[in-house]
Chains A and B, each alone.
Chain A
């Protein structure tokens, strides 16, 4: 016989204002199986919990119903209290008489009657609750980090420094990402290469980091603590073990006029190349689309000059499977281009800026390469069209960003700061030049950020014009910038030598495809979604997958590094235990009745349903039934709704319990 205790909370006045809590306690006290019922002002407070624990022991209660707020709010609190008092925590249920009753009703009499019904239903449900033990699943203490930019590098180093193995996968031939392309970084103007390359070397030398560059994620299977990841190592055509990185192949390669994407296609590279001199690993890749050997079967110079014989034209793409327990996604960003977008795309181009057809209209990243000491111009700011130094330069902010009519409504967050930085770099390099900035408003929250922006105006002589540019066009060798100064209320026209656009930050191309492989959610722009905007900002809703950097939304370097370290901390929290504990509200199959139609397997969104063979003592196959892997099951109940013979049920939500609840009404 159950001895159920019912505890009615006033929630200050939140519940008692509309619900007669004393009456609920009195009436539910007469419900069959209820041995004790009481009400209290704040059940979740320390005295409230003490009252509950005392009642469990004194009244020898077998089950508990707390009628209060939503279980999302305090289920954990009360289950913990119940456990302390010696009961199995899953014998405690919450009846929500706040969100589901007092908050949404005005009539006290009706609300009270409804509250009694709600509590009565939960009493019937809790009667049939089973004692459950937390589910434990083993944890593979290795982590996968996808993306070798600053976010991925930071996360990988933090996890590896903690002693756990890390698999770092990068799509490009070298790690470094966008940060390696930058010239100097705000707000301190330290050289990006100087602070980035040591970290890249640390990755290469770390005994706990296994680096896969020029590789992509092919397939992700498994679940938190137990993922199997298939990685495609694209054919590099150079044997990484043999190559010494001497670079002779690159100097001898006759194909030298290939635009280098790392230099925003301004600089040139050879067909066998490393994207930049500080690349990690310092192993070249043959660009098969542009290599004479691969196009015509002639040449082969690189192979002839390679001392260690590392060049291998026969190399094929290779698939590698790695077992990991956690995944950090750090795939970073891409820049919006003003080029014409394909028809039907939600994001539009900028016809008024010439759709990217004016050669001296460049984006911010191209400016970074021009300003970078290791860039194609050796750090001189020169026009791509004729190599002259621009004496009048116009920066335009919010190109693509905050432009709903162009399809992107968000703020790209970093552009105000990097444009301020660009004006400074320009002023340092072209002393007689003048920089103009068209801006909507300057968004510079952050430590030393606003001071930095003020400096660009007050000390570095940048002219900021509040207003947007309506049109750009080429006039001789000048670019005419037509805009408005809304502070003064006049139209402005500037004949510029060069225009730099602060184009919007977008997720990497293919971010959606990767998300589908990982089973994580993403927003309409393809930024990955965190589990909770405020309280779980680095976790994905899919357990065991974490986010770092701009793949989640626009971020600057300090923020990206912080998030990467936070993601690493989450991974380390997961790895701090040998077994993973999780809530046991999972589906179970009644094997005796299962006919193995696998309707449950077809509808399971989590891939939790497996096929299991039932054999007799002689080992003969009796039948094949469904099996729910408790480590993967998310407890959504779709299988239960689908099973035609009702042979799979969710603990705590069995058909018997649901029917009992309905009958209590």
Chain B
């Protein structure tokens, strides 16, 4: 870890304190029935998602560089764990907030049902780091290197701390996309074939993704069977293409899929490439505002039509 600069995470103490106070207040005043946040876990420095339903539990909420999870997923698939009825508070980093905005546009959430506690964030740890590791330019998650929302906006509460200016970090995704784009289609295909061949079809990427909220995934259907269910090359490829296509124009880049992948498939790389296409074709970035229709389900006369030969 030498030659790598440490990153300033000093604000996290103040953030933690502010989250606790605010969570206790809204819970005790009955504004919300639960607050989804992070609490310390058993291993030193580690954090895990918790659902605080009273002031005592709220006092245990934390925010550290180990708070990697995107909690938005607890409002969709995992929502069954949450007590129904009433508003729910949720601790969100800027990247997680984009997912919530996307979910609102897809009728999965209503803004008025949520109490958003925004977190000013300098960055979190990469997926392979030990939780107690110091946050440095080497240990930071790749997504944080290209983050443009260190300071979330539009929340009900944001701790009044200023994110210290982070040094210019190397954009790993944009560099990798540029590298792959420079390859021939055949070379690129062989790269992805190799990546997909590693897949063991555990579907962790699906389970952690806030946008994979279907009650029954089409990959689990057998009448007709759209995607081969065993981890063989054809089914793997089909699954990863379906996943990438279904996320096009929706994924805001929380990179949870990539974090949880036990086989280290660069899933967010595909997502970022789709996002880049959307930006180039439709000047569209997901997660910035609640839209009734995104570019992929609307038609405008000025849309790029160069692909129609």
Asked if A and B are interacting partners, one says yes
Interface residue ranges, A against B (CB under 8 Å):
592-599, 602-603, 624, 642, 644-647, 655-656, 659-660
Kindly name the residue among B218, B246, B293, B298 whose own CB sees the greatest number of chain A CB atoms within 10 A: B218
- Is A595 touching B224 in the complex (CB atoms < 8 A)? no
- Is A602 touching B224 in the complex (CB atoms < 8 A)? no
- Is B214 touching A644 in the complex (CB atoms < 8 A)? yes
- Is A599 touching B214 in the complex (CB atoms < 8 A)? no
Check: B213 CB closer than 8 A to any chain A CB: yes
A646 CA to B215 CA, complexed, in Å = 11
A174 CA to B221 CA, complexed, in Å = 63
**A597 surroundings in chain B (CB, below 8 A):** 106-108, 213
- Is A599 touching B106 in the complex (CB atoms < 8 A)? yes
Q: Which of A595, A646, A656 contacts B108 (CB 8 A)?
A: A595
- Is A642 touching B224 in the complex (CB atoms < 8 A)? no
- Is A603 touching B213 in the complex (CB atoms < 8 A)? no
- Is A602 touching B221 in the complex (CB atoms < 8 A)? no
A655 CA to B213 CA, complexed, in Å = 21
Check: B217 CB closer than 8 A to any chain A CB: yes
Check: B165 CB closer than 8 A to any chain A CB: no
A197 CA to B108 CA, complexed, in Å = 60
**B106 surroundings in chain A (CB, below 8 A):** 597-599
- Is B224 touching A660 in the complex (CB atoms < 8 A)? yes
**A645 surroundings in chain B (CB, below 8 A):** 214-218
Could you list 29 A-B pairs, sorted by A, with CB under 8 Å?
Answer: A592-B215, A593-B214, A594-B215, A595-B108, A595-B213, A595-B214, A595-B215, A596-B108, A597-B106, A597-B107, A597-B108, A598-B106, A598-B107, A599-B106, A599-B297, A602-B297, A602-B298, A603-B297, A624-B107, A642-B297, A644-B214, A644-B218, A645-B215, A645-B216, A645-B217, A656-B223, A659-B224, A659-B226, A660-B224
A592 CA to B293 CA, complexed, in Å = 24
With both chains docked as a complex, state the minimum distance between the C-beta of A129 and any C-beta of chain B, in angstroms.
Answer: 15
A644 CA to B219 CA, complexed, in Å = 11
Check: B292 CB closer than 8 A to any chain A CB: yes
**B107 surroundings in chain A (CB, below 8 A):** 596-598, 624
Given contacts A656-B223, A656-B224, contact A602 B218 (CB under 8 A): no
A645 CA to B221 CA, complexed, in Å = 9
A598 CA to B106 CA, complexed, in Å = 7
**B246 surroundings in chain A (CB, below 8 A):** 644
Kindly name the residue among A592, A593, A642 whose own CB sees the greatest number of chain B CB atoms within 10 A: A593
With both chains docked as a complex, state the minimum distance between the C-beta of A655 and any C-beta of chain B, in angstroms.
Answer: 6
With both chains docked as a complex, state the minimum distance between the C-beta of B192 and any C-beta of chain A, in angstroms.
Answer: 22
A484 CA to B218 CA, complexed, in Å = 73
A603 CA to B217 CA, complexed, in Å = 21
A646 CA to B108 CA, complexed, in Å = 17
**A624 surroundings in chain B (CB, below 8 A):** 107
A174 CA to B164 CA, complexed, in Å = 71
List the B residue with the shortest CB-CB distance to A603: B297
**A646 surroundings in chain B (CB, below 8 A):** 218, 221, 226
**B218 surroundings in chain A (CB, below 8 A):** 644-646
With both chains docked as a complex, state the minimum distance between the C-beta of B208 and any C-beta of chain A, in angstroms.
Answer: 17
Q: Which of B215, B226, B293, B298 contacts A655 (CB 8 A)?
A: B226
Kindly name the residue among B216, B246, B298 whose own CB sees the greatest number of chain A CB atoms within 10 A: B216
Q: What does the 1/0 interface line of B206-236 toward A look like (CB < 8 Å)? A: 0000000111111001011010000000000
**A595 surroundings in chain B (CB, below 8 A):** 108, 213-215
A647 CA to B215 CA, complexed, in Å = 10
A204 CA to B215 CA, complexed, in Å = 59
**B213 surroundings in chain A (CB, below 8 A):** 595, 597
**A644 surroundings in chain B (CB, below 8 A):** 214, 218, 246
A660 CA to B224 CA, complexed, in Å = 8
With both chains docked as a complex, state the minimum distance between the C-beta of A321 and any C-beta of chain B, in angstroms.
Answer: 24
A54 CA to B13 CA, complexed, in Å = 86
Known: A593-B214, A595-B215, A645-B214. 10 other contacts (CB 8 A): A597-B213, A602-B293, A603-B297, A624-B107, A642-B297, A644-B218, A644-B246, A645-B218, A646-B218, A646-B221
A645 CA to B227 CA, complexed, in Å = 13
Given contacts A656-B223, A656-B224, A660-B224, contact A602 B215 (CB under 8 A): no
List the A residue with the shortest CB-CB distance to B106: A597
List the B residue with the shortest CB-CB distance to A663: B224
List the B residue with the shortest CB-CB distance to A602: B297
A660 CA to B216 CA, complexed, in Å = 21
A603 CA to B292 CA, complexed, in Å = 11
Sort A-B residue pairs by CB-CB distance and give the 4 closest, nearest first.
Answer: A645-B214, A659-B224, A602-B297, A597-B106
A327 CA to B44 CA, complexed, in Å = 73
A598 CA to B297 CA, complexed, in Å = 11
With both chains docked as a complex, state the minimum distance between the C-beta of B133 and any C-beta of chain A, in angstroms.
Answer: 37
With both chains docked as a complex, state the minimum distance between the C-beta of A386 and any C-beta of chain B, in angstroms.
Answer: 50
With both chains docked as a complex, state the minimum distance between the C-beta of A592 and any C-beta of chain B, in angstroms.
Answer: 8
**A660 surroundings in chain B (CB, below 8 A):** 224
Given contacts A598-B107, A655-B226, contact A593 B297 (CB under 8 A): no
**A655 surroundings in chain B (CB, below 8 A):** 224, 226
List the A residue with the shortest CB-CB distance to B291: A602
A646 CA to B223 CA, complexed, in Å = 11
Kindly name the residue among B213, B226, B292, B297 whose own CB sees the greatest number of chain A CB atoms within 10 A: B297
A595 CA to B107 CA, complexed, in Å = 9
With both chains docked as a complex, state the minimum distance between the C-beta of A28 and any C-beta of chain B, in angstroms.
Answer: 23
List the A residue with the shortest CB-CB distance to B292: A602
With both chains docked as a complex, state the minimum distance between the C-beta of A513 and any C-beta of chain B, in angstroms.
Answer: 15
**A592 surroundings in chain B (CB, below 8 A):** 215
